[in-house]
Structure 1
Amino acid sequence: MSIEREIKLALPPDQADAADRFFAGLAGEPGRDVPLDNIYFDTASLALTHAKIALRLRKTPDGWLQTLKAAGTAEGGMHSRHEWETAVAGEALEFDALAAVCDDPPALAALRAAATELGERFRTRFTRRLWRFEFDGARIEAAIDRGEVTATVDGQTRRDAISEIELELLQGDERALHALAGKLSAAVAGLAPENVNKAQRGYRLCAK
């Protein structure tokens, strides 16, 4: 198990270039673009979200990953939650692999109870521009995500645009993450804390 600690900021689309320049200046190099396709699973009755967990299958340039995320906190754009991730062979979940790494009994019990009824609920597709650098003694990964969330409901596709920044603490003191967010907000106009993650946005599309 790992604990993901990151700050999410809503990014006005017309400020994406300014954010790009800010991170390139800190890292001393252009960002690396990574296309990411994500499929989120739940039962028709949304058993997983009611149990406050999320199950995702992600296609990356290096292969497929499955991720289980448990309940966490989000305040002022700062997100903290437990997650378990394993590689999988292809576009299919592998429950035994998740069970082997998940050390949260309630989350594992909810996953097992829902396993036979899981289906795709929504997808996210976006390009992540990545940088990794040192800031105030901490190792940080910065990302600009731009794309969309889609959900098919009653044969109709619903969409919600993604334009956000994620600052993830890889190593070091969490205070460095907040200091970086402050410096970024001073340099890029219109940034705002984002307390709603991509999975929550997908569930909202399903519910409308």
Structure 2
Amino acid sequence: MGIEREIKLALPPDRADAADRFFTGIAGSPGRDVPLVNIYFDTASLALAGAKIALRLRKTPEGWLQTLKAAGTAAGGLHSRHEWETPVAKDALELDTLAAACDDETALATLRGVAGDLGERFRTTFVRRLWRLSFDGAPIEAAIDRGEVTATVGGQTRREAISEIELELLQGDERALHALADRLSAAVSGLTPEDINKAQRGYRLCAR
């Protein structure tokens, strides 16, 4: 089990270039573009969402990953959640493999209880521009995500744009994460804390 600690900031589209220059200046090199497709699964009644659990498949340039995220917190843009991730051979869930990695009995019981009723509910498709930084002695992954969330409901596709920054603490003191966010906000105007993650946006599209 890992605990994901990251700060999310809503990024006005016209400030993306300024954010890019900021991260490139700190890293000393341009960011690397990574195309990502995420498929989120739940029951028709959204039982996993009701238990504050997210289950997804992610397509990366290296292959497919499956991830289970359990209930967490979000305040002022800082998100903390338990997560478990394992590689899979193709675009299909391997729940037994995921269950073997998960050490949260509550989340595991919920997942097993709905396993036969899971289906795709929405997708996020975006390009992640990625930097690995060292800031105040802590390794941090900085990303600019731009793309969209899509959900097909009643035969119609609903869409919502993605334009945000993620700062993930890989190791070390959380104060370094906040210090980087403060410096970024001073350098790039218009950023605001984002307490709604991509999965929550997808569920919002499904429900409205």
TM-score, length basis structure 2: 1.00
Equivalent position amino acid for 2:157 in 1: T
Equivalent position amino acid for 1:129 in 2: R
Percent identical pairs in the alignment equals 82
Q: CA deviation at 1:87?
A: 0.0
User: 2:26 — aligned with what?
Assistant: 26
SS at match of 2:110: helix
The correspondence of residues 128-207 of structure 1 with structure 2, limited to 5 A, is: 128-207=128-207
The correspondence of residues 19-58 of structure 1 with structure 2, limited to 5 A, is: 19-58=19-58
Query: Unmatched 5+ residue regions in structure 2?
Result: none
Q: Tell me how large the CA RMSD over aligned residues is.
A: 0.4
Equivalent position amino acid for 2:163 in 1: S
1:80 aligns to 2:80 (yes or no): yes
- C-alpha distance in 1 between matches for 2:37 and 2:81: 21
- C-alpha distance in 2 between matches for 1:48 and 1:114: 8
1:95 aligns to 2:88 (yes or no): no
- C-alpha distance in 1 between matches for 2:137 and 2:119: 43
User: 2:2 — aligned with what?
Assistant: 2
- C-alpha distance in 1 between matches for 2:125 and 2:183: 29
What are the Cα deviations for residues 166-193 of structure 1, in whole angstroms up to 9, with x where unaligned? 0000011000000000000000010000
- C-alpha distance in 1 between matches for 2:51 and 2:105: 12
SS at match of 1:134: strand
- C-alpha distance in 2 between matches for 1:99 and 1:136: 37
What are the Cα deviations for residues 58-89 of structure 1, in whole angstroms up to 9, with x where unaligned? 00000000000000000000000000000000
- C-alpha distance in 1 between matches for 2:180 and 2:200: 25
- C-alpha distance in 1 between matches for 2:75 and 2:38: 25
User: 2:16 — aligned with what?
Assistant: 16
- C-alpha distance in 2 between matches for 1:110 and 1:133: 37
Q: CA deviation at 1:52?
A: 1.0
Instruction: Flag as ranges the 4+ runs of structure 1 deviating above 4 A.
Output: none
- C-alpha distance in 1 between matches for 2:137 and 2:63: 32
Aligned residues: 208
TM-score, length basis structure 1: 1.00
1:67 aligns to 2:67 (yes or no): yes
- C-alpha distance in 1 between matches for 2:36 and 2:175: 29
Q: CA deviation at 1:51?
A: 1.1
The correspondence of residues 100-119 of structure 1 with structure 2, limited to 5 A, is: 100-119=100-119
- C-alpha distance in 2 between matches for 1:172 and 1:117: 40
Equivalent position amino acid for 2:20 in 1: D
- C-alpha distance in 2 between matches for 1:199 and 1:205: 10
What are the Cα deviations for residues 25-76 of structure 1, in whole angstroms up to 9, with x where unaligned? 0000000000000000000011111111000000000000000000000000
- C-alpha distance in 1 between matches for 2:178 and 2:49: 29
